[in-house]
Chain A
Amino acid sequence: MGTIPEKDLAKCTGCGDCVVLCPTNAVELVKGKAIIVRPQDCNYCTDCEALCPSDAIKCFFEIILVKSHS
């Protein structure tokens, strides 16, 4: 399974914006909180992070130097 966005459920208000706008339908509301229920479908597009009005979603990127090409 690939990495998925990190969610701070304490901040999530359950507005459902990320559920509606997720391009791969990976998110659903579960007990009033947005949960990535199909992590295998998440392509880490970061749209959910950009649109979340309560700043509850973080998409971290690791910055890695590929040695063989340096």
Chain B
Amino acid sequence: MRESREMPSRVDFLRSLLYFAALGSEEIARIEKEILVRSFARGEILLLEGEPCQGLYIVESGQIRVFKSSRDGKEQVLLIANPGDTFNDVPVFDGGPNPASASAMGPSTVCIIPKQTVLSLVADCPAALAIIRLFATRLRHLTLLVEDLSFRQVVSRLAKILLELAVVEGGSTPVPRLTQADMAAMVGSVRDVIGRALKTLENAGTIKIEGQRILVVDTEKLKGII
């Protein structure tokens, strides 16, 4: 990996991006000064899922693969980013870790705009920042959903939603009521499969089904199935 400072033509490049289309010359020039430019060889990793966010990435040349990985090494590509595309937007705004990893598909150059620099663009409009943060949170949730649908079997996905939804009776949170069709829609499956998956979870000793009550009796075992 090589590092270099920005080049004069980069101002035009930044101005051509949707992200910065509304900015004046002064602001573009300020951003340009703070950009870090990095070049990567084919296959080189730019950033890893779960690590702290360094900033917003913009592809200047080449192609970048943004992907999620499962524990057993499977991958789900979320985006092939081409020149002018941004990625790693979500953690810049929601403050969380990188939601996915990224690697270069060929010799590539990217511009990294530090998180604080991006946030400074909306600093004088707290309402806009709050709305963007909300969207980023929802986008992260959808990224997690892609991960679930790609890497987890139905039993595992059902275990995850039961663990997330189950509440203690008599508490302040109302006990959720779902049909098997509702559960199927939540885990991307069909009703019949949910019936069998519930039976599997019951046989594993994680839940008990008593009439219309699904009792989550062993959360640790249930976590082990996810």
The count of chain B contact residues (Cβ–Cβ below 8 Å) is 27
Across the interface, do B192 and A62 meet the contact criterion of CB distance under 8 Å?
no
Across the interface, do A64 and B212 meet the contact criterion of CB distance under 8 Å?
no
Q: List 12 A-B contacts (CB under 8 A).
A: A2-B211, A46-B180, A59-B180, A60-B177, A61-B179, A62-B177, A63-B162, A63-B214, A64-B168, A64-B213, A64-B216, A65-B167
Q: A17-62: which have CB < 8 Å to B? A: 43-44, 46, 49-50, 58-62
Determine the distance from Cα of A31 to Cα of B215 in the docked complex, in whole angstroms: 37
Chain A residues within 8 Å of B, Cβ to Cβ: 2-3, 43-44, 46, 49-50, 58-67, 69-70
Chain B residues within 8 Å of A, Cβ to Cβ: 162, 165-169, 175-181, 183, 191-192, 195, 209, 211-219
- Nearest residue (CB) in B for A59 is B179
Contacts of A63 in B (CB 8 A): 162, 165-167, 175-178, 214, 216
Determine the distance from Cα of A63 to Cα of B164 in the docked complex, in whole angstroms: 10
Across the interface, do A61 and B219 meet the contact criterion of CB distance under 8 Å?
no
Q: A50-B192, A63-B214, A64-B166 in contact; A69/B175 too (CB < 8 A)?
A: no
How many pairs, one residue from A and one from B, have CB atoms within 8 Å of each other in the complex? Answer: 72
Contacts of A59 in B (CB 8 A): 179-180, 212
Across the interface, do B175 and A64 meet the contact criterion of CB distance under 8 Å?
yes
Across the interface, do B162 and A46 meet the contact criterion of CB distance under 8 Å?
no
Determine the distance from Cα of A46 to Cα of B215 in the docked complex, in whole angstroms: 17
Across the interface, do A49 and B179 meet the contact criterion of CB distance under 8 Å?
yes
Rounded to whole Å, the gap between the CB of B179 and the closest CB of chain A is 5
Determine the distance from Cα of A70 to Cα of B178 in the docked complex, in whole angstroms: 22
Determine the distance from Cα of A44 to Cα of B103 in the docked complex, in whole angstroms: 51
Q: A49-B179, A58-B179, A59-B179 in contact; A64/B215 too (CB < 8 A)?
A: yes
Rounded to whole Å, the gap between the CB of B133 and the closest CB of chain A is 30
- Nearest residue (CB) in B for A60 is B177
B181, B195, B212, B219: which contacts A65 (Cβ < 8 A)? B219
Across the interface, do B213 and A62 meet the contact criterion of CB distance under 8 Å?
yes
Across the interface, do B191 and A50 meet the contact criterion of CB distance under 8 Å?
yes
